Amino acid sequence: MDKQITVPERITIKTGKGGLQYLDLRCNGAEAHVYLHGAHVLHYQPAGQAPVLWHSKESLFEANKPIRGGIPVCWPWFGAHATDTTLPSHGYSRYSEWVPVASSASATATTVTLRFPASQGRSALAELTVVLGSSLEVTLATTNTGSSAMPLSEALHSYFAVSDIRTVSITGLDQEQYVDTLLAGRPILTQEGPVAFEAETDRIYINTTRECVIADPGMHRSIRIGKKGSLSTVVWNPWIAKAARMPDFGDNEYPEMVCVETANCGPNALSLAPGQTHAMTTRIDVETP
């Protein structure tokens, strides 16, 4: 790695779980960990707060395996590939090493940018920029480096730590339409009031630019998720049966987490013209009463 990336006391390179390298970011008492594997933000903890992101105790930390938790980068497609079922769910960028290409540290923010290296046959460039300050801001920028239109669906698939999924609620989606992926035919329904959880939940809210708030009375905090360049918000909790089917997700872990994902997927999938760049940003703030 280019030694210019590290900044004493602010940006250091460390060896983490599974021997994978990560960038340890600090700023005014806040900290974040960005694994080079998948440009995966695994940890975010504001000063004086409990960790905001969740990851499974069963997660793998191995080359060619995705990490379960934190903020997986789903790129250049979300969910199953449109035509080739042999390709991995949520694209391939979370299975590969990204390269840190830029960094800075000011009085109010610590910033790093990582690039998903182009390779043969891929005519798209991805960069992820992480800004740690009074909040955590993550931007995924895609550039079509080819000579034809590029289909793109994407997500910053954030896993948030909560006290108990059965007592939290999510506001900001009232009256928004969503694809219920668990129902036959994936019908489009309308959200009534806050989102609450009493079973497996897997919804793609569409055509929405609104910010969401996870209200967590058990942790005496709210997590605000703002966004730019995103028309989809995905809300997911696997609940009991699906958690038991996932080898990298503990059977009793589902109450501890909820995904609120900043995305462009389903009806909001994109097509980039040659040379076009599209950026999508998620911003995470923690508020205490």
Residues of the shown chain interacting with ligand TA6 in the complex, contacts defined by CB under 6 A: 66, 79, 89-90, 157, 202, 234, 236, 259, 261
Give 74 or 105: the residue with its C-beta nearer to ligand TA6: 74
User: In angstroms, what is the minimal distance from the CB of 114 to ligand TA6?
Assistant: 20
Torsion of CA 191, 197, 198, 204, to 10 degrees: 50
User: In angstroms, what is the minimal distance from the CB of 246 to ligand TA6?
Assistant: 6
Give 5 or 61: the residue with its C-beta nearer to ligand TA6: 61
In sequence order, what DSSP letters do the residues of 137-191 get, joined into one string?
Answer: EEEEEEEE-SSS-EEE-EEE-PEEE-S-TTT-EEES-TT-EEEETTSTT--EEE-
Give 38 or 46: the residue with its C-beta nearer to ligand TA6: 38
Q: How far apart are the first and last CA of the chain?
A: 42
Write the DSSP symbol of residue 17: G
Which residues, 6+ apart, have CB-to-CB distance to 127 below 8 Å? 101, 113, 114, 115, 116, 140, 141
User: In angstroms, what is the minimal distance from the CB of 284 to ligand TA6?
Assistant: 17
Torsion of CA 29, 23, 76, 84, to 10 degrees: -120
User: In angstroms, what is the minimal distance from the CB of 26 to ligand TA6?
Assistant: 29
User: In angstroms, what is the minimal distance from the CB of 154 to ligand TA6?
Assistant: 12
Cβ–Cβ under 8 Å, residues 169 and 177: no
Cα gap 194→214, rounded to integer Å: 10
Give 202 or 253: the residue with its C-beta nearer to ligand TA6: 202
User: In angstroms, what is the minimal distance from the CB of 88 to ligand TA6?
Assistant: 7
Cβ–Cβ under 8 Å, residues 234 and 204: yes
Give 214 or 234: the residue with its C-beta nearer to ligand TA6: 234
Give 95 or 124: the residue with its C-beta nearer to ligand TA6: 95
Q: Which of these, 139, 110, 115, 93, lies nearest to 12 by C-alpha position?
A: 110
Q: Which of these, 232, 228, 225, lies nearest to 136 by C-alpha position?
A: 225
Burial of 171 (0-12, 13-18, 19+ CB in 10 A): middle
User: In angstroms, what is the minimal distance from the CB of 263 to ligand TA6?
Assistant: 8
Give the residue closest to ligand TA6 by C-beta: 89
